Amino acid sequence: MPSLRTRLCPIRRGSHIVHGSCSGFKAHVAQRTVKTLLPDFTHKRVLDLGCGYGWHCKYASASGASYVLGTDISHKMLERAEKINAGSGIEYRCIAMEDLRFPDETFDVVLSSLAFHYVRDFVPLVHNISRWIKHGGEFVFSVEHPVFTSYGTQDWYYDEDGEILHFPVDHYYDEGKREAVFLGETVVKYHRTLTTYLNTVLQNEFEIRHIVEPQPPDSMLGLPGMQDEMRRPMMLLVSAIKSITP
């Protein structure tokens, strides 16, 4: 009988090598693609939600931003960010993005990389982001693709010999909590449809400029498992601008 199996580490199944959560692929492609969507940071005030190790904070600062605030809920990641991506005009703060409070039009740019699918209440968060961004400011974010989050396990469907058959997409319109296993630990994420992501942005004074579903570049297709990454989208990237006039 075909079955769903959870990936904990790189293993070989049949003729396929399966790589953990594909986090390396996600990080590489997300970094590579999001840079093509980022605005001019010169003299801009920037907020990075779920900044992790602070790579985008450092990039914005090095690109001319006057002030960069990176927030995350992981003390360990922020400690690392302070060591490897500190800089003049960069501040890191350990706080949930849902708990942030700022005056209206505090920032010129708001960024978030692969963090919003961990947030339960997306609509009020985007409403806040819209208030925090100046008119004409930019909002750029990436999330795990709704196709990737819909079923929950985020694993392929295999035959009895361990060969990949397909990637399961089920309960797509049933938004809400999902559980996946990463490195032996249960991770809670929140699934939303593509419609919810895009309409929430549009309903909060933003005009969408770009929608990207990144795929492996040709240079990566020869790596083990990369051909399978062409079979379904893993990430969704969106860039938007807040309406020029109130």
Structural tokens at position 24: 């390396």
Question: Do strands 45-49 and 107-113 pair parallel, antiparallel, or not at all (unpaired)?
Answer: parallel
Q: Which domains does the chain have, with CATH numbers?
A: 21-150+191-242 (3.40.50.150)
Neighbours of 231 (CB within 10 A): 10
Residues of the chain with pLDDT under 70: 1-31, 152-154, 156-157, 165-166, 220-221, 225-228, 230-231, 246
Question: Do strands 45-49 and 67-72 pair parallel, antiparallel, or not at all (unpaired)?
Answer: parallel
Count of helices and strands (H, E) across the chain: 6, 14
Provide the angle, in degrees to the nearest 10, between the axes of the packed helices 194-202 and 122-132: 30
Question: What pLDDT sits at residue 59?
Answer: 96
Name every residue whose Cβ is closer than 8 Å to that of residue 151 and which is 6 or more positions away in sequence: 168, 169, 170, 171, 178
pLDDT digit string, tens, across residues 139-186: 999 999 999 899 866 676 677 877 776 678 889 999 999 998 877 789
pLDDT digit string, tens, across residues 45-64: 999 999 999 999 999 999 99
Exposed / middle / buried, residue 93 (Cβ in 10 Å: 0-12, 13-18, 19+): exposed
